[in-house]
Amino acid sequence: MNMVTGHSAPLSKEANMTPRAKRIVGKSIVVTIIAVVATFALSFTARLALQMPIDWLSWVECTFIPILIGMPVSAYIFAQAETIQETCDKLEKSYAALTEAHDRLTFVTSHDPMTGLLSRGEFIARMGRKRDEGECDTLLLVDPDHFSLINDEHGHSKGDEALVRIAKALVYLTRPGDSIGRLGGEEFGVLLRDVRKEQAITIAENIRRLIEVSPMVKGQQEGMKLTVSIGGAAIPPDADAQDVLRTAGRCLFEAKQRGRNRVSFDYEATKLRVVTP
């Protein structure tokens, strides 16, 4: 029993050493062994070259001096290195967490929380991007028909579901390089990058048809139908974003006036700078 007890204490101390302490001690032992071997090699080589005797004191000096000096010095250096590494790891984790928080904040401030689409400010900022000469984007304004009736007759939760349904249709029928935003309560904007009027009309018609034939919500009630009206306007290189929005808004109003559930591009790009009196 005593023998077992006598050997258990060192083992428990070794087992209780932290990984950090084990690394420091292990590296220090390796460095000390190298120092002892190097001291023996240099000292004995010098003594033999100078024809000096190698006595027991030489063995003691070459063994204990490197241990007494090298072990604590190397342990201190490795401990400082571990501390620096731990600090760097913490800083790296803090930077990653800060970057993630910044990305989340940027997304929240630039996107609509309900649909996940761009906010009005971010969408208009993308409309104002610099375009090369001859490059022409197209803006679509998408607005659900009789949306107030959906809210009044079926509740705001159904209205929210309708908006999400429209947002999904817009994402489905546009390209990754296009921009989609929620510009107001129920109005959406689609920025078709480097797409001219003819192709834009086709895309707008596809959006209108998809929303018309898709069930608005699960368990849709009789007579509960969702349609949209779409107004479009070209965005030439030198166009002002607000002028384009006004032109597309007039086209959207024209689509509503003509019976809704339709696409209108009646205002030409040459009228973008005409100010409404």
* Span 71-91, pLDDT tens digits: 888 888 888 888 898 899 889
At residue 234, the 3 state secondary structure works out as strand
**Structure pTM?**
0.63
pLDDT at 267: 54
pLDDT at 205: 96
| Tens-place pLDDT, residues 242-251 | 899 999 999 9
Percent helix / strand / coil, the chain, rounded to 5: 60, 10, 30
Asked whether 33 and 59 are in contact (CB, 8 A), the reply is no
Distances (CA, A) of 256 to 138, 144, 183: 20, 10, 18
Tokens of 59: 């063995």
Angle between helices 120-127 and 241-257 in degrees, nearest 10: 110
Q: Residue 235's beta-bridge partner residues? A: 137
The residues annotated as belonging to the active site are: 186
User: For 3-48, what is the HEC assignment?
Assistant: HHHHHHHHHHHHHCCCHHHHHHHHHHHHHHHHHHHHHHHHHHHHHH
**Residues recorded for the chain:** 277
Q: Are 263 and 232 contacting, i.e. CB atoms less than 8 angstroms apart?
A: yes
pLDDT at 210: 94
Number of H helices, E strands in the chain: 8, 5
**Which residue from 228, 211, 222 is spatially nearest to 154, judged by alpha carbons?**
222
Residues of the chain falling short of pLDDT 50: 1-6, 8, 11, 220, 268-277
- Every domain of the chain and the residues it spans: 2-110, 120-271
Q: CB-based burial of residue 211 (10 Å sphere; 0-12 exposed, 13-18 middle, 19+ buried)? A: buried
Amino acid sitting at position 117: L
Domain 120-271 fold is Alpha-Beta Plaits (3.30.70)
